[in-house]
Amino acid sequence: MDQMTREKIYFAYVYINGTFVGTTSDKNGNFELDISKYYSMPLTISAIGYYSVILTVKSTDKPILIYLKPKVYELNEVVINAKTNDKERKENLRLFRNEFIGTTWNARNCEITNETDIKFVNDKDTLKAFSSKPIHIDNKALGYKVTYFLDEFEFTKRSQHLFFTGNIIFNEDLTTGEEQKKTFEKRRKNAYFGSIMHFFRALWGNKLDSTGFIVKNSASIILNYNNIVVQVDSLTKFLKYPENLDICFNTALSISNVIFLDEEVFFDENGYFDPSGISWSGVMAKQRIADWLPYEYSPKK
């Protein structure tokens, strides 16, 4: 329902962020979705013109009312966009693609199919991007059709600091032939190994060593599973350490940095983690939308 008017929202997207699993609400705002395979992951609700809501679902016999907040303030800010000339808009789009989609080989084979829906505001040294509609991306490198609901995007040019938040749902490209599927799988493997998803899955199974990951503290002391994982029960684990961590994968040159924003960060066996609790830098941080994989992905042997 609309938070301000209490009107029912038709065709809201209801999904598990980062997966293939989703549905839409009917004319009365109702929906049905089987989330039993994703017991540890929150439910995301998005709709055109609204901020997404992330909901931790608990078993209940009572109806759950979900209120979405309209993106009203953005409509005032993006009016400035009407004065933007073609040259400036092209440069804004170039910066946006590089920071949002990435600059890898996979990124060069991705296309945003509704770029006209993206609006920009240059606030001094900061580029802000807005879209009341979901951003649609055709990932021709990995064989996915991606829908991304952008809530915030800010890129500071001088410091190269990037911040963007939103939610993503994947769809498989069903037009793919058998030979193309083999090519996609090879590229997906390359994107997977050494990724954040790969790291958390390895950490969950206490397989850092066998999968090629090394975790070190600021004194370059190698840490093991017991040093950095707090296990509440068989289904609940947290990444926790009193200082930031360095992660190496297969080579000392492939270094990523974990910067803790919260004291401990929830993660699960699918590779899902609470993104609000961690900031990333280094190699893993360079993987943007073009190199992301759905949580259903598992490399074929």
Domains and CATH numbers, the chain: 1-70 (2.60.40.1120), 73-172 (no CATH), 195-282 (no CATH)
At 34 the pLDDT is 86
User: Residue 84 has what pLDDT?
Assistant: 55
Residue 257 CA: distances (Å) to CA of 26, 96, 217, 218, 280: 43, 24, 10, 10, 6
**Alpha-carbon span 244 to 280, nearest angstrom:** 10
Q: What is residue 86's predicted lDDT score, i.e. its pLDDT? A: 84
C-alpha pair distances (Å), 85 with each of 98, 115, 117, 120, 290: 20, 16, 16, 11, 28
List b or e across 68-87, with b for residues whose CB sees 16 or more CB atoms inside 10 angstroms: bebbeebeeebeebeebeee
**Residue 178 pLDDT:** 86
Query: Which region, left, alpha or beta, applies to residue 121 given φ > 0 means left and ψ of -120 to 50 means alpha?
Result: beta
> How big, in percent rounded to 5, are the helix, strand and coil portions of the chain?
25, 35, 40
Each residue's pLDDT, cut to its tens digit, for the chain (301 residues) gives 999 999 999 899 999 999 999 999 998 888 888 888 887 888 999 998 888 999 887 766 778 888 999 886 544 555 445 455 788 899 999 999 999 999 999 999 999 999 999 999 887 889 999 888 999 999 999 999 999 999 899 999 998 889 999 999 999 877 778 899 999 999 999 999 999 999 999 999 999 999 999 999 999 999 999 999 999 988 899 999 999 999 999 876 779 999 999 999 999 999 999 988 999 999 998 899 999 999 999 998 7
Distances, alpha carbon 295 to alpha carbons 78, 132, 163, 194, 237, in Å: 34, 26, 22, 15, 17
Report the pLDDT value the prediction gives residue 254, as an integer from 0 to 100. 79
- Whole-number Å distance between alpha carbons of 55 and 251: 39
Distance CA(135)–CA(10), nearest Å, equals: 19
Q: Supply the pLDDT for residue 75.
A: 46
The strands making up 264-267's β-sheet, listed across from edge to edge, are: 229-233, 236-240, 264-267
Query: Which pLDDT score is estimated for 7?
Result: 92
Q: How far is residue 7 from each of residues 28, 156, 170, 197, 247, measured CA to CA in Å?
A: 9, 38, 28, 38, 48
Q: What type of residue sits at position 51?
A: Y
159-188 pLDDT, tens digit per residue, is: 888 999 999 999 987 777 889 999 999 999
Tokens encoding 145: 């059709």
* Entry pTM: 0.88
The whole-number pLDDT of residue 82 equals 47
Q: How far is CA 273 from the centre of its chain?
A: 10
β partners of residue 265: 239
Beta bridge partners of 13: 24, 46
